[in-house]
């Protein structure tokens, strides 16, 4: 249970379970009565947040972002519309296109499916955080050199997915790259160049097979 996501989900379901029990049912479990009652008291004492705006602090690209947000505001909404970080894009708002992908610690997630309040205390990296000052990351540089973008709207999402992949797996196979990018859609059809760019960023020379015949 080291994964904070799993731990969070576990404690939530226990709390829900406890809340769902009637008092008499809880009392019937004689051996644990005291412990359970104490926990119930703790749960009931928790302050319900919302529905109005609450203070939220997000760690984005190494900086603290202090915002007042309704708890139902997603991380994507918070970034794009409550700060000037519009790099992560909205393409579908329902976890289907990947344009909103950001890193939560080292894991790429769809920021449209994460409430901003839930992302507190984690390191969030958006496309704006990939370069160090003016120095582009290897992945960004490779995307430029291989022209792995056309309209560029899906590009922030792909860059984040690829960055996460190469951090975990610096020398991926083509299938591993495809798996890592399976959650990102591109309508311009830039995929072959994205594949080339990932290899280039991984230090493998990727040359175009395109032939120009001068007529």
Partner 1 sequence: MSSWPAETKYISHPTLRVDAVPKVTGRARYSSDTQANGWLYGMILRSKWPAAKILSVNLDKARQIPGIKAAVVARDGTFTVRFYGEEIAAVAGSTRQACLDALRAIEVKAEPRNEFAVNENEARKDDAPRVWEGRSNVAPGRSREHGNVDQAFGECAAIIEGFYTTPVQIHNPMETHGNTVSWTDEGVTAWSSTQGISSVRDGLAGALQLDQSKVRVITDFMGGGFGAKFGAGAEGALAAQLSREAKAPVRLMLTRFDQALAVGNRPSSFQRIKIGAKADGTLHAFEAENYGTAGIGAGADSGGGGGGADIPMPYLYPVPNSRVKQSHVAINAGSARAFRAPGNPPASYGMESAMDDLAVKLGMDPLEFRLKNDPNEVRQREYAIGAEKFDWKAKYQKPGSSSGPVKTGIGCAGAAWPAGGPSRSTQGEAQINPDGSVEFRLGVQDIGTGTKTVIAVVAAEMLGLKPEQITVKVGDTNFPPGPGSGGSTTCASVSPTVYDICQRGLQQLQKQTGIADARGKNWLAACKKLGVTPLVVHGNWIEGLSNRPAYGVQFAEVAVDTETGLVTVKKVVAVHDCGLIIDTLTLESQINGGVIMGMGYALYEERVMDDLSGVVLNPNFETYKLPGIADVPEIEIVLLNMPERGVIGIGEPATVPTAAAIGNAVANAIGVRVGSLPITPSKVLAALGKVPPAAIT
The answer to whether 200 touches 148, Cβ cutoff 8 Å, is: no
Binding-site member from 89, 114, 124, 202 for partner 1 (CB under 8 A) = 89
Q: Which helix (H) or strand (E) holds 59?
A: strand 54-60
The answer to whether 17 touches 43, Cβ cutoff 8 Å, is: no
Binding-site member from 77, 164, 165, 201 for partner 1 (CB under 8 A) = 77
Smallest distance, Å, CB 131 to partner 1?
6
Q: Which helix (H) or strand (E) holds 66?
A: strand 63-69
Binding-site member from 26, 40, 178, 206 for partner 1 (CB under 8 A) = 178
Residue 146 to residues 138, 149, 198: CA-CA distances in angstroms? 12, 9, 9
Binding-site member from 75, 99, 119, 124 for partner 1 (CB under 8 A) = 99
Let me know how long the chain is.
215
- The footprint of partner 1 on this chain (CB under 8 A) covers a number of residues equal to 65
Contacts (CB under 8 A) with partner 1, residues 45-74: 70, 72-73
Q: Which residues contact 164 (CB under 8 A, 6 or more apart)?
A: 103, 106, 107, 108, 180
Smallest distance, Å, CB 37 to partner 1?
37
211 binds partner 1 (CB under 8 A): yes
Binding-site member from 36, 65, 123, 152 for partner 1 (CB under 8 A) = 152
12 binds partner 1 (CB under 8 A): no
What is the DSSP track for 186-197?
-SS--HHHHHHH
Contacting residues toward partner 1, per CB under 8 A: 70, 72-73, 77, 80-81, 84-94, 96-97, 99, 126-128, 130-131, 136, 140, 143-145, 147, 149-156, 159, 177-179, 181-182, 184-195, 208-215
């Amino acid at each position: 249970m080291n994964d904070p996501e799993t731990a969070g989900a576990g404690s939530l379901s226990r709390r829900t379970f406890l809340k769902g029990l009637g008092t008499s049912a809880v009392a019937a479990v004689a051996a644990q009565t005291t412990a359970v009652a104490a926990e119930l008291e703790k749960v009931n004492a928790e302050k319900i947040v919302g529905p109005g705006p609450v203070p939220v602090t997000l760690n984005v690209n190494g900086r603290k972002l202090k915002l007042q947000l309704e708890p139902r505001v997603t991380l994507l909404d918070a970034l794009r519309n409550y700060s000037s970080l519009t790099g992560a894009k909205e393409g579908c708002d329902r976890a289907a296109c990947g344009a909103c992908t950001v890193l939560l610690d080292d894991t790429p997630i769809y920021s449209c499916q994460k409430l901003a309040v839930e992302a507190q205390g984690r390191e969030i990296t958006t496309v704006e955080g990939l370069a160090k000052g003016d120095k582009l990351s290897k992945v960004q540089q490779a995307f430029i050199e291989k022209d792995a973008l056309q309209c560029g709207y899906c590009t922030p999402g792909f860059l984040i997915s690829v960055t996460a992949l190469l951090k975990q797996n610096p020398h991926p196979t083509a299938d591993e790259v495809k798996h890592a990018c399976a959650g990102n859609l591109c309508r311009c059809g830039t995929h072959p160049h994205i594949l080339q760019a990932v290899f280039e960023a991984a230090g493998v020379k990727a040359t175009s097979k395109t032939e120009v015949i001068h007529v």
